[in-house]
Structure 1
């Protein structure tokens, strides 16, 4: 018998109450408060005045991409184009064996309109292909050698699902927008091995555990990634639970039905550490490169309303077929037309396939038309937000606002309105698109202010949420998304002991100080400690 006593701190149960102690027995919460102190413990954790709460979840992320980004050129955080170029040069010099230089996470706001020139990379690495994903992972910047290897030229045509940015004379610039254009370059690069992906998943899940996260939704899984996940699980390398969101391809989804069923069957032997209960649909793109699907034209380009990834007819066919397998739908929808399309498709499937506990997810919900707001609660749709995005950062002021105009910019990230409507809300990060740590997302959800505490009182202040609501979205909200709300997300007797210990009670901090003034002291997954800070 193993019984762990947590004492000498505050225990936030997620039920509207707190206490000062808790015991865990055989992987589950046993007792709280005075009763916990009366039970003989085999191990005691002194919380040292800190806060113990249900472990966080991440309802939308990409662990393999994050793991690869951590091992490539470190362009995320570079403050200028020259800094990016010098980091690429450094990495290339340090890896002479690399046939291609591939990385991710550069800041699209560093070049006008997010358009980057191949010659800037040619100046530092002219003889090997360089391909960098932007922080949005919907855009790619490459050098001339990469375009040459990919067979791209001024004769290359745009497609319905991809745009090749061009110079005034029609030559390719070096920036590729969305699926077909990005893939035209990356499919030429050497494929990452399964072993490389296993290592990326190990690094990524350990990074999550260090942030207090014990369940994540991988929202973009291809068949090769699924194989790596199976190997990582067999080797005991996953430090968090992971649910696989298998991407439905609009050009071959009918072939994928059997693939998805097979992956789900093979994954089932790993219990709740690895599951495959979700299918991912990209409904549209992103506002920053004008591929998010809008009800009205873009303010700075009246010739386009965006780039839907699926035709509606094909989307409902695929969604209906995959729903019959019992898979949960997880739809990326950014623009107001994209969100409406996702809601319409969910409504259609519910009518055709009949009622069941589906818990469909629409991720991001960046723009929302007021007419569609009550449909989330009515249809039982979970709105998965990335709270870190709900601030006036450079991406918002330089790219998003000019694309949408003043009126539509008042309809972004309506977290407060959706909560008040009775809709279910979960939080996530979209890592590596943005910071994976819930402690960085919490302050923005609560204040709607940026790091400079602007605008004072918050951008769209009526969309602010309380700290309790934000914590619930990261805990019970994600547990509900994971169909685990009867066991996880709250600390009650019998609940699975997924726990995070913070050094401070964040309820008593200035929200802006949460990220800088708080550290994770420990993370437990079903009472197994999966993160312990290194000693100084």
Structure 2
């Protein structure tokens, strides 16, 4: 395939030929042969890669009721949304935060929907709330979970509740239209056969803990936090593979850095989220050469809730971006969808718009999603021999950086094959 007259960063206006092997074969002005696609001067970029996403949860979101702070307000609004949920035996709701209607348990949900199984997921993804009908149906009515609050129970619930329809076709199409050509699925305990399930997506998918080149995901919670030595043993057990450690609190990050120091870091080690990164650990992160895969949009999306939920000592250190780069720790980004927006361009706009000293330039925001899947902080560039995973824009790069919108995506290609209609 020959793509004519596209702007490639660092090369100006060129033609790009893609070989039968799905890689860039030639790149230069006035290549011979008829054009298969005329770029009309639009920018041709490496395809966007979402470095941290939960694909099956995102695919299930279309069959779920949205009950987050920006979807509904108050107990009456929550009750109405749950009662009017889509047809079927169960109601599955996602995105809940206490600012909507306070703390939830089985009895609170029973008052809203007494006669139909309901399960509501907290916005963090860490907690499910079930009403009495749901607990009875799942066989949990008289056990330790009888209050209806199930912590880190996704794996168990998969065996106990009816499966949810996964709209993987719609997910893949929506992502392609945004120029996304790859995902890193970040589930801590992938479901059996997950890689096969996700193989229907047109994008390239890296599954943590499954693919041989992918990092091993390590989940941390303050309630069950290991000692640094215990975590170092877990890290050593994963070697020679890198690890991706979930760190959303200050103590989780400190334990992780101590463990990596003890076990010895390897190329590809990652901190997932890095929700709280104090100034004093920045040199430590740089010395260990770990990558921080963060969500710079969360302080923008969740600012109102963070103002009350987060300790004042931690608020200046939330989801850092600019200060990481300035400290020599190039960040990368993942949407964390469905727990955040699934649109990388919206993440970029939020990263540029932050008002807490962590804002980055539009170009730096774009690079957050241009990293290599196995090395998210290493920016991919178009060159002869590189995979033809591409995002073609309607406009030159400088115009795109002014708006950072998915509306500017004209086409996406994986291995030289168009994945957009």
Q: Which residue of 1 aligns with 2:183?
A: 216
Cα RMSD (Å): 3.1
CA deviation map 1:368-410 (0-9, x unaligned): 122211122211100001121132x4x3333x33344434211
Residues 34-433 of structure 1: matches in 2 within 5 Å? 34=29, 37-41=30-34, 43-75=35-67, 78-81=71-74, 82-91=76-85, 94-95=87-88, 98=89, 100-112=90-102, 115-116=103-104, 118=106, 121-123=109-111, 125-149=113-137, 150-151=139-140, 156=144, 172=147, 176=149, 178-179=151-152, 186=157, 189-190=160-161, 192=163, 199-220=166-187, 222=189, 225-230=191-196, 233=199, 237-246=200-209, 264=211, 277-284=214-221, 293=222, 307-323=223-239, 326-350=240-264, 357-391=266-300, 393=301, 395-398=302-305, 400-433=306-339
TM value normalised by structure 2: 0.87
Number of residues of Structure 1 aligned to a counterpart in Structure 2: 417
CA deviation map 1:460-506 (0-9, x unaligned): 22x22222222222103656239xx6xx8211222111111223446
- In structure 2, distance between residues paired with 1:188 and 1:241: 28
After TM superposition, give the deviation of residue 335 of structure 1 in Å: 1.0
Q: 1:472 to 1:156 in 2, by over 3 A?
A: same
- Determine if the alignment matches structure 1 residue 499 to structure 2 residue 390: yes
> Secondary structure at 1:277's aligned position in 2?
coil
From 481, 485, 499, the counterpart of 2:376 = 481
CA deviation map 1:303-353 (0-9, x unaligned): xxxx34434443222211111xx3220111011111111111112111xxx
On the 8 A contact 2:178/2:407 being kept in 1, the answer is no
- In structure 1, distance between residues paired with 2:84 and 2:215: 40
Stretches of structure 2 that go unaligned for 5 or more consecutive residues are: none
After TM superposition, give the deviation of residue 212 of structure 1 in Å: 1.3
TM value normalised by structure 1: 0.70
> Secondary structure at 1:481's aligned position in 2?
strand
- In structure 2, distance between residues paired with 1:65 and 1:481: 22
- In structure 1, distance between residues paired with 2:258 and 2:135: 39
After TM superposition, give the deviation of residue 152 of structure 1 in Å: 5.1
After TM superposition, give the deviation of residue 367 of structure 1 in Å: 0.7
Stretches of structure 1 that go unaligned for 5 or more consecutive residues are: 158-163, 165-171, 247-262, 265-274, 285-292, 294-306, 449-457
